[in-house]
Structure 1
Amino acid sequence: MEFEKALENVLQNLGFNHWLYFLAISSVQIFGNPHITAMAFLGKTPGFSCNTDKEKKLDPCKSQCDKYVFEKNYTSISTEWNLVCDESYKVPLAQEILMFGFLLGVVVLGSGSDKMGRLRTLMICLYIQVIAQASMLFCTSYFQFALSRFLLGFTAGGSSLTSYVIIMENILSHHRALAGTVGQIAFALGNVTFSLMAFYIRDWRMLSLAIAVTNVPFLFLSCFIPESPRWLMSEGRISEAEDALYRVGKMSNPTFNRQMVSITETKEEGPKASSGTFDAFRTPEIRRRLLALMFAWFTCSFVYYGLTMNATSQGSNMYVSFALSGLVEVPAHLICTVALNRIGRKRCLFLAFFTGGLSCLFVDFTSSTSGLFSPLSLSLVGKMGIAMAFNGIYLFSLELFPTVIRNGAMGLCSMAARVGGIAAPLLSNYGEDITFVGFGVTGVISGLLMLMLPETLGLPLPETIDDVECWKSI
């Protein structure tokens, strides 16, 4: 039988153990999330004053200080290496370095997994992440810390992409939306678990070690999770693909037999005509779609990571605020899953971007310190909006690009998102007011851009560039 039929035999009735299989892979996101967002606490600067200012009335950044005295609520790299005043730029710089590593990791390890295999790439990333995270316990300089953050970003880019691909490659099409949402929710819950860890562990070195320890169980993931059967098939390793499918099938059905996944080697078709991604810029409709979506992906990452890292500055309790920032994503992803199929892709994304953008703009104009229009409440609404947009933009982009350039175009969009992740901490150097204006303006513009794109709900995927050029609907 063909591979798709064998996969259907395995997954047509998803059992409890099957969902445990997908949940185990998605859990990489829950405990891997702190690698990316750790600077919200590791870089947090407590109140401080000059050691010569006994009454604490002077601005420590405008006084000549021999030494800074920090409040004892918690420690961070700021308290460790005096990263305040003229040196304060190094805190967001560490996050920029991580996101630059993330960008490289998506590109290098994303293509590397096509050659080495999904599972092997994932395991390499997980091992390096644990070592790099634990190494922070022994960092004696900012340079060593920044190097560890780069390695974390590089491997986090690989592990997040690969774990997502493993799930999407090995689930039936009508379950993909739900499986994708589970992955998004898992990432959001990572913020909640991390805020709990940070609340109980106030020393930044011990917190780094705790993050590493919580990821140790995933080093044994390969003992329970088989390699992606679809990747094995693409490599011509049919017998191994059958073994992998058989292992998955036995999870929920003890009577599952090997013949149910017996794959017949299909005759290889001739190469399909393809186009280079940059050739697509020469056609007006593809160019319009690509530029609009690249800006939207930039906005998603820019606003999402910006609001996440800024959550500790909102509200009276930074641990509660950070946890809420993750919790509000759960209903956002569930609403998005329903709305995409009810009101359409572009209207759903327009509302998501517009809601997120306006909420961020209102943060700068509110005078309320509590209630519905407080900065914390508005930023949480903004986080819900951008989380919905991040969830839906992937599917919308997938459906707007023709098959012949889809992978390349999606790669360009993903790179735009990584640039947004780098820009978010950079903008924070200019103050909170400008930061939220930046979030708001990009969100509103992205929402308007969505209205310029055609609706794709219920339509077949375009195959060629000509299909797209003949289908111009605004």
Structure 2
Amino acid sequence: MYLLWGLIPADYTVGIEHRGNFAFKAALTKSNSTMVNLDELIPKLGGFGYYQKRLYILLTVPIAVAGMFMIMMVFALYTPNHSCKRPHDSSSFNDSRSGRFTASECTLRQEGDEQLNSSNASLSNISRHITPLPCSEWDYDDDVFKKTFTTTHNLVCQESLKISHAQMIFYFGVVIGDILFGQLSDLIGRKKTLIIAMFILLVSGLSGSFSPEYYSFVVIQFVVGTACKGCLVLAFVMGFEFVGPDMRVWLGQALNIIFALALCSLCGLGILIKDWQYIQITCTIPTVLFILLWFVLDESPRWLLSKGRTEEAKSVLLKIARTNKVTPDGNLLQQLEHEKSTHTEKISSLFKNRTLAIRTLVVFFNWFGLGMTYYGVFLHAENLGGNFYLAIFLLSVIEIPILLVNLYLLNKFGRRRVHCLTMMTGGLACICSIFPVIFGGEELQPLILALAVIGKMGASGAFGSIYVISGEVFPTIVRNGAVGASSSFARIGSMLAPYIAKLGTVGVGSYGKAIPLIVFGACSITAGLFALLLPETMGCRLPDTIEEAVDFKLLREDPNTESETEELRSMIEN
């Protein structure tokens, strides 16, 4: 379990910490000493100036590429409508039969008449036989894709479970990417690690598109998932570490919007190309451009300071000031203090107190349900009927307005209530889909799709709130490890999602397609109701110790609560 602590690098949760109401002011408040830290210094070097804007434009490349690869498996392993291929030459079958064939998805039957040896003329001497035959080839519809890995290697019928295995292994690679690249970035730096992740994604992305058979494909997709998550984590980390605390929550949402736009772009590529190999190659090519930007990117000054490389950090900060056309106070750079690692306790400390243990389990369960629902709805898209690309596009584009609305709702109505509302909304929409599936036909496909989009909308909104809740409910001394462990449960949920989505293809009758959304919906509703057991953290300062995290009433009674709340509201309105 302790290996899960590394799922999110220590610096990555800085952005999550600052989503609290008072984290903005806490980060900007000067120490009584003469030393200054980066949170105080960066706003004086131009804040979000030309340097940071250029950096964020560059970071859209790894985020967009990794975002497309996060659902690339939905395209590569898409299963179109299919049926057994009728043999053109019936000579290999029983010649005494007429050779008429009836085909279904997984079976082929040969019908024929056979002469009976009978001396009784009054009896018919013709017998009709139906013989089941092995199905080794299939005819596939090409209205959505001309070719997928599924159709190339016939991963249908008895082999269809291999699709879920491949998707599960990909998301397991995502878990490993969390651990591997998070630790590596702390060891050798953000810039080098990001370039390594992009290079691995370039090689594995191209190699995966030419996989000759199933097992090599699965191994390569595991590597793709690992590199994909590394790119996402490092891009977010670099983005957060080059800006001041007052911009992190807003720019974090901006990078999430880039992620959503990348998913929409993937739909456009699918419509134009319709071949999974060329789609994957096209998505991989932009990584070449980013790798060539080695000489443009700078190492994170925060990481340099944490390693005691103060002069290199000052050099980067001076470059930021020059690019932003700001003349920094030389004394500020001279007084720049080393970034000190916060002493942390083990995550097991949360389970020594009954109240904290229940809250921790509730947070873990909510991350699990969200990971399963968020990616499960994507994986279930091909079972929804209607236009596949329209479904993927709507499931992707809905994230953009939700991310923007979340910024307002969380600070207006509170974290707990908004999170419960989004979880309940998404869950109820998924469960309600059973009625149009069972009692309707093709004419109700738009309603089924609309309910699925609402379900995805709820999951996207809940993801935004659970990040805030996790950053605020856990005390500072275990926050990094606790948020990292929470994130791991989302990955476990995403690993189970392919198998639940597969239930939509094996169910009996019209009920089958509704089963996955019922499972996703029930899990989402249950997790949302349990979230009401969590304390309301809006209007509270962030807890620093285990004792403070137990009783949030003490944190809410801070004498500066009212003034700090007004300050945050003013910042949001501006």
Q: TM-score, normalised by structure 1?
A: 0.93
Between stretches 90-99 and 78-87, larger displacement belongs to 90-99
1:24 aligns with 2:105: no
1:284 aligns with 2:384: no
User: For 1:34, which of 53, 64, 68 is the aligned residue?
Assistant: 68
2:510 corresponds to which residue? Answer: none
The answer on whether the counterparts of 1:299 and 1:446 sit within 8 Å (CA) in structure 2 is: yes
1:45 aligns with 2:79: yes
The answer on whether the counterparts of 2:410 and 2:418 sit within 8 Å (CA) in structure 1 is: yes
User: For 1:141, which of 195, 210, 213 is the aligned residue?
Assistant: 213
Cα deviations by residue, 1:29-72 (Å, 9 ceiling, x for unpaired): 22221212111111111222222278995323133213222234
The amino acid that maps onto 1:444 is: I
C-alpha distance in 2, partners of 1:83/1:248? 53
User: For 1:450, which of 521, 531, 548 is the aligned residue?
Assistant: 531
1:69 corresponds to which residue? Answer: 139
C-alpha distance in 2, partners of 1:268/1:31? 32
C-alpha distance in 1, partners of 2:209/2:229? 23
1:464 corresponds to which residue? Answer: 545
The amino acid that maps onto 1:62 is: T
The amino acid that maps onto 1:42 is: A
The answer on whether the counterparts of 1:51 and 1:69 sit within 8 Å (CA) in structure 2 is: yes
Q: Structure 1 residues 267, 212: CA separation in 2 closer, same or farther (over 3 Å shift)? A: closer
User: 1:257 offset after TM fit, Å?
Assistant: 5.1
2:457 corresponds to which residue? Answer: 384
User: 1:22 offset after TM fit, Å?
Assistant: 2.0
Between stretches 44-53 and 183-192, larger displacement belongs to 44-53
The amino acid that maps onto 2:45 is: V
User: 1:471 offset after TM fit, Å?
Assistant: 3.2
User: 1:242 offset after TM fit, Å?
Assistant: 1.4
Q: Structure 1 residues 225, 260: CA separation in 2 closer, same or farther (over 3 Å shift)? A: farther
1:406 corresponds to which residue? Answer: 479
Cα deviations by residue, 1:217-255 (Å, 9 ceiling, x for unpaired): 2213433221111111111111111122223333332x5
C-alpha distance in 1, partners of 2:46/2:493? 37
Which segments of 5 or more consecutive residues in structure 2 lack a partner in the other structure? 1-34, 89-99, 109-133, 505-512, 557-574
The answer on whether the counterparts of 1:245 and 1:261 sit within 8 Å (CA) in structure 2 is: no
User: 1:209 offset after TM fit, Å?
Assistant: 1.1
C-alpha distance in 2, partners of 1:272/1:397? 18
Residues 304-319 of structure 1 aligned to structure 2 (within 5 Å): 304-319=374-389
Cα deviations by residue, 1:340-374 (Å, 9 ceiling, x for unpaired): 11111111111111111111111112245557971
C-alpha distance in 1, partners of 2:284/2:430? 33
Q: Structure 1 residues 217, 56: CA separation in 2 closer, same or farther (over 3 Å shift)? A: farther
C-alpha distance in 1, partners of 2:389/2:362? 36
1:351 aligns with 2:435: no
Cα deviations by residue, 1:291-347 (Å, 9 ceiling, x for unpaired): 011111111111111112223443522112211111111001111111111111111
Q: Structure 1 residues 59, 315: CA separation in 2 closer, same or farther (over 3 Å shift)? A: closer
Between stretches 346-355 and 209-218, larger displacement belongs to 209-218
1:246 aligns with 2:246: no
Q: Structure 1 residues 181, 267: CA separation in 2 closer, same or farther (over 3 Å shift)? A: closer
The answer on whether the counterparts of 1:26 and 1:182 sit within 8 Å (CA) in structure 2 is: no
C-alpha distance in 1, partners of 2:297/2:229? 20
Is the partner of 1:83 in helix, strand or coil?
A: coil
Q: Structure 1 residues 336, 57: CA separation in 2 closer, same or farther (over 3 Å shift)? A: farther
1:435 aligns with 2:505: no
User: 1:422 offset after TM fit, Å?
Assistant: 0.2
Q: Structure 1 residues 220, 267: CA separation in 2 closer, same or farther (over 3 Å shift)? A: closer
Is the partner of 1:365 in helix, strand or coil?
A: helix
The amino acid that maps onto 1:129 is: L
Q: Structure 1 residues 359, 221: CA separation in 2 closer, same or farther (over 3 Å shift)? A: farther
C-alpha distance in 2, partners of 1:371/1:167? 44
The answer on whether the counterparts of 1:27 and 1:186 sit within 8 Å (CA) in structure 2 is: no
Pairs aligned (count): 471
User: For 2:403, which of 333, 337, 346 is the aligned residue?
Assistant: 333
Q: Structure 1 residues 46, 173: CA separation in 2 closer, same or farther (over 3 Å shift)? A: same
The answer on whether the counterparts of 1:132 and 1:148 sit within 8 Å (CA) in structure 2 is: yes
Is the partner of 1:69 in helix, strand or coil?
A: strand
C-alpha distance in 2, partners of 1:49/1:371? 25
2:330 corresponds to which residue? Answer: 259
Q: Structure 1 residues 267, 247: CA separation in 2 closer, same or farther (over 3 Å shift)? A: closer
The answer on whether the counterparts of 1:11 and 1:171 sit within 8 Å (CA) in structure 2 is: no
1:230 aligns with 2:302: yes
1:397 aligns with 2:470: yes
Is the partner of 1:262 in helix, strand or coil?
A: helix
The amino acid that maps onto 2:359 is: R
Residues 215-226 of structure 1 aligned to structure 2 (within 5 Å): 215-226=287-298
Q: TM-score, normalised by structure 2?
A: 0.78
What is the Cα-based RMSD across aligned positions, in Å? 2.4
Is the partner of 1:52 in helix, strand or coil?
A: coil
Between stretches 407-416 and 197-206, larger displacement belongs to 197-206
1:9 aligns with 2:82: no
2:150 corresponds to which residue? Answer: 78
Q: Structure 1 residues 93, 344: CA separation in 2 closer, same or farther (over 3 Å shift)? A: same
Q: Structure 1 residues 371, 433: CA separation in 2 closer, same or farther (over 3 Å shift)? A: closer
Is the partner of 2:303 in helix, strand or coil?
A: helix
2:197 corresponds to which residue? Answer: 125
C-alpha distance in 1, partners of 2:331/2:314? 9
C-alpha distance in 1, partners of 2:254/2:101? 49
User: For 1:106, which of 178, 182, 196 is the aligned residue?
Assistant: 178
C-alpha distance in 2, partners of 1:319/1:15? 38
2:272 corresponds to which residue? Answer: 200
* % identity of equivalent residues: 30
C-alpha distance in 1, partners of 2:448/2:553? 41
User: 1:148 offset after TM fit, Å?
Assistant: 1.0
Work out which of the two has the higher radius of gyration on C-alpha atoms and give 1 or 2.
2
The answer on whether the counterparts of 2:476 and 2:544 sit within 8 Å (CA) in structure 1 is: yes
The answer on whether the counterparts of 2:427 and 2:455 sit within 8 Å (CA) in structure 1 is: yes
The answer on whether the counterparts of 2:84 and 2:107 sit within 8 Å (CA) in structure 1 is: no
C-alpha distance in 1, partners of 2:271/2:496? 28
1:184 aligns with 2:219: no
The amino acid that maps onto 2:68 is: P
Q: Structure 1 residues 179, 371: CA separation in 2 closer, same or farther (over 3 Å shift)? A: farther
C-alpha distance in 2, partners of 1:383/1:374? 14
1:320 corresponds to which residue? Answer: 390
